[in-house]
Each structure stands twice: as structure tokens, then as C-alpha cells.
Amino acid sequence: MPLNNDLKKILKGEVLDDEATKAKYSHDASLFEITPEAVVFPKDTEDLKKLIKFANENKNISLTPRSGGTDMTGAPLSESVVLDFTKYFNKIIEVGVQNAESGHAVVEPGVFYRDFEKETLKHGLILPTYPASREICAVGGMVANNAGGEKTLAYGKTENYVMELHTVLSDGEEHVLRPLNEDELLMKRRRGDLEGEIYRKMYDLAKYNFDLLQKAEPNVSKNSAGYNLWDIWDGKIFDLTKLFVGSQGTLGVITKIKFRLVKPKPYSRLTVIFLKDLNLLLEIIRIVMKFQPESFESFDDHTLKLAMRFLPDLIKILKPKNLIKLGLSFLPEAWMTLTGGFPKLILLVELADNNEKNLENRLQDLKRNLKSLQIKFRISPNEEDAKKYWTMRRESFNLLRKHVRGKRTAPFIDDFIVRVEDLPEFLPRLNKILDRYELTYTIAGHVGDGNFHIIPLMDLADPKSAEIIRGLSDEVYNLVLEYGGSITAEHNDGLIRSPFLKKMYGEKVYKLFEETKHIFDPKNIFNPGKKVGASLKYAFEHLVRE
């Protein structure tokens, strides 16, 4: 009997296996294509419990969670069953104010961030870890990838804002994960069920490998590579939410999330730096970081040219009240280009403050410091003007995906991170590697963190593509690891980077990743082939061919 019929018998939610649906769910924002056997829209937690018990009893059935489908690594792609959470698991259950500076929200994983933020802003609160795909991503994906974005420099990543997770684990039962003190941990370890076994084994793993794990953690400001084993036990608090955040649906299925929210600073201004000489980058970073920016972002000349080339699309995204006024707002950039040449890098420095006068004083001080370097820059006069820069930064990837013909975006070295102080030495070596491959690409990123996103354009139908991806990945990752960095700061591993985790962490730590997966998922039903058990051969066999 077809899988579709079996699932329909036990579930309240829809089960689809028509060609159009399978084609839609065979893609995310990555360079892969994998067609599922069926797509399920679970109605509620009871559906998920039944699904997991069904998968436990039937060989060759696996379950891959999916929310917004914006993942750039192939993580929500599967040949078996894909679970779409956006149709029914899409409720904002609660938003509460804790005090003048913070609050919380309880939400289901299928809620789109854009809708979530509208609701939290009614209470004067935000979840500050939104990625560039904020208009199309869902909060479940933010948790699954341990997302970060333009405000990570000031606020940190999603792992810092998850207070509690409701999950259905491999026993087909719902469990609540939250930080535990030593007494609470002891009670959990005494349980006779799967949850007790998980706490016993994960505690032993974290305790007896503590020094190894602390040494393995990359010495950078953010990291989404592998399982976050170094943060689950600090000697006083045991917290499995730290492990689940960033695990890409490989350990269980999230049904509910409790987030900590923060009150954003009410006043902010943007300074835009047009940099022709990259040798000045470290000095600019040194100056800017003294002012504790809320955001410190960058995009390159390719991105700026792309935005100008597809200006009508950019205008649609901006939705200006006055089209002529928007057009005139680009005159400063045109004049700077005419008088100073086209910049290699555009830097966006956002200062924010609770006091408007303090902000203005800091802004003027920054201005004086930057003038000493004799570089081109401007202070954006208002929010509308600043929005055009943020839109260029956030939308460049989507513009590439929609408009380039004959070649497509190929995110595979799209998220490495090194320490900021290593950039002057690191970047020239990186450019030499990239130049040898003669690819067209854009660079954007979080310059204040040393985190860059390189998106090449490639013809994936060309048989040489896989060879280029493998060779360039090896060279770039070897360079990143030489500087003690991470191969992924926020986009995570998925199909494209999981095969490199052993290279990054070594055999001993990788075996702990395998052990972690087995403790939670002994039958390998949750999103197999990601994090552990990954294969570059399998990944290359599923490159998009178009």
C-alpha cells in the first residue's frame, strides 16, 4: 500500500504526494534538489506523535521538519516525508512584558518572523536575532539553524533567547526542555523513560568530555557548525535547549518555543562608509567598534551594481511614498562614485541609544574619527533613506536568485567567520583563492563579527561544477580553520557543510556528535544525513541541474 494511504489513515492533517507539491518541496534556497515521497501538514501534536511512532515501526521512513523553506544548506530536503509546519503550527500563543527592558513570547514553529515581529512590537518588544530573510523566514527555522543577523553584534544569536522548547522525541511523546539546576537535573536522570535516559547519557557525555569540548569550541563570536555540546553544562546549569537550537531537526521535532524578548532602543541612525581601499578596513573596524554599534554590516561593489541593475525590483520592495524623492536620494551615491570612484565595500554602521541627545553626540564623535581617515562616508538623514541600504544588504541574494539567467546562486562558502583582528591578513589570502576560480560572486556580511557571505553564480549543469564546489570549499575552509574560525557562523550545516565537520572538529569530537544523534534518535528517523552521516557524494548527486 502506498505510503500516502498509510499516513492518511492515522493523521488529521493533509498528506500530499502529487507532482506539483513534491516539486515545490524538493527545493529550498540552497543549490540542491531532492524530491520527497510525501509532504505532511501535521494538524497538531497528536499528529506528530503518531507520525513518529509510525516512522519507528516502518523501515526507510524518515521525518524532515520544514518551516519557511529559506534554508541555504539543503537541511529541509528529503527523499522521505517532509513536515510543513506553516499551515497549522502557526499560532502566536502569548506575548508578555516582564519588565521595562524585556518580555517573552510563546509561539509555534510555523509562524513567519514578519508576523511575529508585528505582534511583539505592539508590546514594544522584539526578537533581535532575525536573519536577512526576515520577511520570508519562520521562527522554527531560526531556532533550527541558530539564526543570527544584523543585530547579532549587539544582542547575540537565537540560542541566547530560547527559554524553553516543547519537543516530540523519538519515543513519540512530547517533552519540555529548559535550563535545569543540579537538583532538577538529578530528578530527570532518575526517570525510567526515554527522557531520563537522554539526561543520563548527555550529562555523562558533557561531564566526561568537558575539557575536550571546551577546547573544540571555535574562538569566534558565533558558530552554528556541529552540535553545540560545549554549552549544555557549565557545572551548575544543564540546558538541552542549547543543543536543540541549531540541530536542524535531527534530534526531534519542535512544537512550541518560548522566546525571551528585548526592548529595542528607540533612537538609531545609520552611517554609510564607501570604502575603496580595503587596507583601511581594520582601522575603520577599530574606530567603529569603540562606539558599540547596534549593527555593523557590509556589502560589496557587486551587490551595489546588482541593486542598480535591478532598481525597479528594489523600488517595489522599498514601497516609497514618493518615487521622485526616492530617486533623488540616490544622488549622494552617484556623486561619491563620480568624485571618488566605485567603492569596493559599503559599510553600514548603525548606532542606537535610549537618549536622542546621546545618540547625536556619539554620531558626531564617530564622524570626527572617520574624517581623520579621509574616506567617503555619509550619515543617513532619516529612516527612509537608511532603508534603501538595508534593502540592498538584505535582498541581494533574492535579486540574484530571481534575475540571473543561465547561472544560479550557489551558496556553499556562504557563511564562514574568523576573528576580526585576523581580517587584514585573512582577506587578501581569501581573495587570491577566489580569483583563481574566476567566478562571479557577491560578498555581504557582518563585518563587525568577521562573518562573511560569499555567493557565487554558477552553471550547475556544467559537470565541472561539483569539482569547483569541492575544491573551493576545501581551500576556503582550510584557510578559515587555519585562523581558528568556523565554516558556518549562522547558516548551519545541512547537506553542504555536514561532510566537513570532521575536518573542522577532528575525529574525537565528531564521534561525540554521532553519539549525541544516537542517544536522541537511535533509529535515525529525524532528518538523516545532516550533521552526522553526511555524504558529499550524495550532495553532489542532488545538485540542481538547470
Residue 47 — φ and ψ, nearest 5°?
A: -60, -45
403, 426, 447: which is the final residue of a domain? 403
Q: How many domains does the chain have?
A: 2
What confidence score (pLDDT) does residue 385 get? 81
Domain harbouring 385, CATH code: 3.30.70.2190
Task: Say yes or no: 287 and 246 in one domain.
Answer: no
Task: Say yes or no: 203 and 329 in one domain.
Answer: no
Local confidence pLDDT in tens for the 546 residues of the chain: 478 889 999 999 999 999 999 999 999 999 999 999 999 999 999 999 999 999 999 989 999 999 999 999 999 999 999 999 999 999 999 999 988 889 999 999 999 999 999 999 999 999 999 998 899 999 999 999 999 998 999 999 999 999 999 999 999 999 999 999 999 999 999 999 999 999 999 999 999 999 999 999 999 999 999 999 999 999 999 999 999 999 999 999 999 999 999 999 999 999 999 988 888 888 999 999 999 999 999 888 777 776 666 656 655 655 655 555 555 555 566 555 555 567 888 899 999 999 999 999 999 999 999 999 989 899 998 888 888 887 777 766 666 666 566 678 899 999 999 999 898 889 889 989 998 998 888 888 899 999 999 988 888 888 899 999 999 999 999 999 999 999 999 999 999 999 999 999 999 999 999 999 999 999 999 999 999 999 999 999 999 976
423 found inside a domain: no
- Residue 229 CA to residue 219 CA, distance in Å, equals 15
380, 403, 426: which is the final residue of a domain? 403
Question: Based on the number of CB atoms within 10 Å of its own CB, is 105 exposed (0-12), middle (13-18) or buried (19 or more)?
Answer: buried
21 found inside a domain: no
- The helices-and-strands tally (H runs, E runs) of the chain is 23, 17
What confidence score (pLDDT) does residue 388 get? 80
What confidence score (pLDDT) does residue 391 get? 76
- Residue 321 CA to residue 324 CA, distance in Å, equals 9
308 found inside a domain: yes
Task: Say yes or no: 254 and 272 in one domain.
Answer: no
283 found inside a domain: yes
Domain harbouring 227, CATH code: 3.30.465.10
24 found inside a domain: no
CA dist 373 → 280, 283, 351, 369, 370 (Å):
8, 9, 19, 7, 6
Yes or no: say if 296 and 347 are a contact pair by the CB < 8 Å rule.
yes
What confidence score (pLDDT) does residue 354 get? 95
What confidence score (pLDDT) does residue 45 get? 98
231, 262, 293: which is the final residue of a domain? 262
What confidence score (pLDDT) does residue 401 get? 61
pTM exceeds cut of 0.75:
yes
Task: Say yes or no: 97 and 223 in one domain.
Answer: yes
Task: Say yes or no: 270 and 253 in one domain.
Answer: no
- Residue 430 CA to residue 281 CA, distance in Å, equals 15
Domain of 119? 92-262
Task: Say yes or no: 105 and 251 in one domain.
Answer: yes
- Residue 110 CA to residue 67 CA, distance in Å, equals 5
Q: What is the DSSP string of 439-455?
A: -EEEEEEETTTTEEEEE
Task: Say yes or no: 225 and 99 in one domain.
Answer: yes
The helix/strand/coil state of 238 is strand
Task: Say yes or no: 234 and 212 in one domain.
Answer: yes
Question: Based on the number of CB atoms within 10 Å of its own CB, is 241 exposed (0-12), middle (13-18) or buried (19 or more)?
Answer: buried
